[in-house]
Chain A
Amino acid sequence: MALTTPHAYRRPGFWRRLRTGNPTEAQLGLILLIPAALVLALVMFWPIAQVLWQSLHFERLNVPARGRPFIGFEHYQRMLWGSDMTWDARHLLGWRLLAFAGAAGLWWGAARGVLRRPTALIWTVIVVLVAGLWMGYHPGEAGRWNDARFWNAFSITLLITVASVAGSFLVGLPLALLANVESRWRWLVRIALLIPWAMPRVLVGVMFAWLFNYTNGVVNDLLGRAGIAGPLWLSRAEPAMWAANITIVWATSAFVGLILLAGLQSIDESLYEAAMVDGASRLQRFWAITLPLLRPSIAVALIFRTLTAIQTFDIPYAMTQGGPGRALETLGIYVSNTTNSLNLGYAAALAVALFVMSLAITVLYLRWIYADD
């Protein structure tokens, strides 16, 4: 109260600061973020909201007479448990409610601190699986209880994800270690790492389809020279899976290598010198210094790789269009095929499944990364 000036200084208000071209940092920041927010809202968030909404509707563009009625979760039911279940739904409803109650109980317990969250998660998975099997749900098996094509696509996506992520790490780590060596040929190494990254994925698929060609492909020629009869790579299910995975690993291991290379370059050289003074062998140094310090880079590469692997579309599509049969029909290709057959409602539900999978994996990874901080 001691100091009351007659004409108190008023800080210029929001609009005045804007008008005079001298906004505060926070104001300026918000203004500069507007274009990005608009773009993301228009092209990312709005479409995702639409897909969620669409997946609750029936819509087949080739059956325009039925319009676009709201059908609730029927698409998901068809996806996970099969479409011809409706006649039996009442019978199964009890079991389902029981399973749901069990899971709810577990999570209630977890919230009250009776059991730990990871334990609750594991038990939930067990309850869902047991209840599902009890009700006749067998993933990946042609049966009346499920959309076998979805589970086929699901397991293929899972297989490609696990195989190609592991593969790209097994190839990418040596690539990074080699690229980290000082030499006159470093520019060539850089180019060799960048070409697989920069090639359009579709064209990589086309290129490798030619390399894996049965009669005129390089792979079979080299195998033939080694005395091995090369398989019909792209017309048998199992070799096609191998071929697709090899192609994906080729296309993505370079990117993994680049990220790991950045991690390698940020490791302090003096650590190695200290270890050398202590008499650590090359392998020991690798295990004790390189791998632990590389963990953040490995985590980042792992996230990017897993998420792109779940969305695998271009390479199998270019190589065999999801064939032979449906041996390479990933979830991505299934979504695209369903869209092309004009069943937009079900395609949206499948897309949501894909979205939920990538979201779940992102969250898991983020928790893993931030667990140490």
Chain B
Amino acid sequence: MRVAVVVGTALLVINGTFPLVWMMLTSLKDENELIRVPITYWPEAITFQNYVQVFDQLPFARFMLNSAVVSISATVICVLVAALAGYALGRLNMPYRRTLLTGIVMTSMFPALVLLVPLYRMFLGMDVPLLSPLVAFLHDVGMTFMPTEVRTPNLLNTYWALIIPYVALSLPIATLILTSFFQLIPRDLESAALVDGCTRVEALFKVIAPVSAPGVVTAAIIIFVNSWNEFLLALTFNTAQTMRTVPVGITMYQGEFAFPWATISAAITVGVLPLVALILLFQQKIIAGLTAGGVKG
């Protein structure tokens, strides 16, 4: 049994890490070595030319910047919104809170694909209910100094076009995680603050907020990873070269028929570095968050 466990664990580790390790090894080989048969496992001559190619062919640094801006903003906004909701659902005595939580979690089951077209229209700019018809009417009756039409701004190819949907897509899971964390904080802590003369809002910021920091970090990491990895919406909404995110950008290296595997593998290696760093730093927190989301269901 002992041997079986050791072998199994070794297989598990190889299974989990091999594809990524293989990408790293591939990225260190030069083009000619890649197309050789039989394939080499360890690079014969290590070259960093592919990494130079990554940044030469496309503005990969810009992709990284875009991904970072979008993911970090989405994370900050989503954590704020989810923390408020999580506090309400996890700590406060309010009617229907289980139903509300189930409702919020259920929305995470909406396919992001369904949102694609309506969000595209929305970000393209659309009429504002009530306001747009009013302005059009006023313009028609002679108030020509007013703008002809009122539309929401065109958000395509801006960071907002991604930040807004990412906040919404991660909100259910973040709310779930934070709700279960808030439930763990002992009620006495808050009661003590209330007895000492804090109002409820003060108690929230002075007592609960510092204690809930670990939960917030966990939720933040998971939102960040979700946002960094999103592909479909990023592909559709931000089509300008300078506004691409990392996952979309990497798919842009492949040509019509040619797959420059060396460059692609180097790009993948660079693109997932932040994720690997997060895993290495916060593995236990991430697992706690994922399973908090899972076990509660």
Chain A interface residues toward B at CB < 8 A: 21-23, 25-26, 28-30, 32-33, 35-36, 39-40, 42-48, 50-51, 54, 174-175, 178-179, 181, 183, 185, 187-204, 206-211, 213, 215-218, 221, 224, 250, 254-255, 258-259, 261-263, 266, 282, 296-297, 299-301, 303-304, 307, 310-311, 313-314, 318, 332, 335-336, 339, 344, 347-348, 351-352, 354-355, 358-359, 362, 369
Contacts and interface: CB of A to CB of B under 8 A. Distances in A.
B265 interface: yes
Contacts of B119: 43, 47
A50 to B, nearest CB: 4
Given A216-B35, A216-B39, A200 B228 contact: yes
A202 B81 CA distance: 28
Interface in B97-121: 97, 100, 104, 106-107, 109-119, 121
Given A47-B119, A303-B297, A28 B279 contact: no
A339 B111 contact: no
A35 B84 contact: yes
Contact of A189 (B9, B89, B97, B236): B9
Interface stretch (B13-21, B55-63, B131-139): B13-21
A30 B39 CA distance: 62
B247 interface: yes
Contact of A51 (B95, B118, B229, B278): B118
A145 to B, nearest CB: 26
B125 interface: no
A101 B38 CA distance: 66
Interface stretch (B46-54, B142-150, B164-172, B212-220): B164-172
Contacts of A206: 250-251, 264, 268
B38 A221 contact: yes
B26 to A, nearest CB: 7
Contacts of A211: 19, 22
Contacts of A197: 290
A191 B283 contact: yes
Given A43-B165, A194-B279, A185 B9 contact: yes
A36 B81 contact: yes
Interface residues of B, number: 94
Contacts of A347: 117
B102 to A, nearest CB: 8
A195 B118 contact: no
A23 B200 contact: yes
A47 B79 CA distance: 23
Given A179-B12, A192-B15, A300-B294, A198 B279 contact: yes
B279 A30 contact: no
15 contacts: A25-B94, A33-B89, A36-B81, A48-B110, A51-B114, A188-B13, A195-B16, A221-B38, A254-B16, A296-B297, A314-B231, A351-B117, A354-B113, A355-B114, A358-B109
Contacts of A221: 38-39
A44 B107 contact: yes
Contacts of B291: 258-259, 261-262
Contact of B109 (A190, A202, A352, A362): A362
Interface string B148-173: 00000000000000001101110100
Contacts of A190: 283-284, 287
A312 to B, nearest CB: 10
Nearest to A179: B12
Given A47-B119, A362-B109, A218 B268 contact: no
B185 interface: no
Contacts of A23: 200
Nearest 8 pairs between A and B by C-beta? A192-B16, A262-B291, A43-B168, A47-B118, A29-B94, A200-B229, A29-B88, A259-B294
A28 B112 contact: no
Nearest to B126: A50
A204 B94 CA distance: 43
Given A174-B8, A191-B16, A32 B84 contact: yes
A44 B19 contact: no
Contact of B287 (A175, A194, A348): A194
B207 interface: no
Contacts of B246: 200
Nearest to B13: A192
B76 to A, nearest CB: 13
Contact of B88 (A28, A45, A339): A28
**Max count, chain B CB within 10 A of own CB: residue among A207, A221, A310:** A207
Contacts of B259: 209
B93 A195 contact: no
A315 B110 CA distance: 19
B3 interface: no
Nearest to B9: A178
A206 B294 CA distance: 28
Contacts of A50: 118, 121
A29 B85 CA distance: 8
A46 B109 contact: no
Contacts of B225: 198
A314 B248 CA distance: 11
A28 B92 contact: yes
A254 B13 CA distance: 11
A243 to B, nearest CB: 13
Interface in B166-212: 167-169, 171, 175, 199-202
B114 A354 contact: yes
Contact of B272 (A199, A217, A250, A348): A199
Nearest to A34: B84
A187 B282 CA distance: 11
Contacts of B23: 207, 210
Nearest to B272: A199
B297 A299 contact: yes
Given A30-B94, A194-B283, A210-B23, A36 B106 contact: no
A318 B235 CA distance: 12
B65 interface: no
B250 A183 contact: no
Nearest to B253: A206
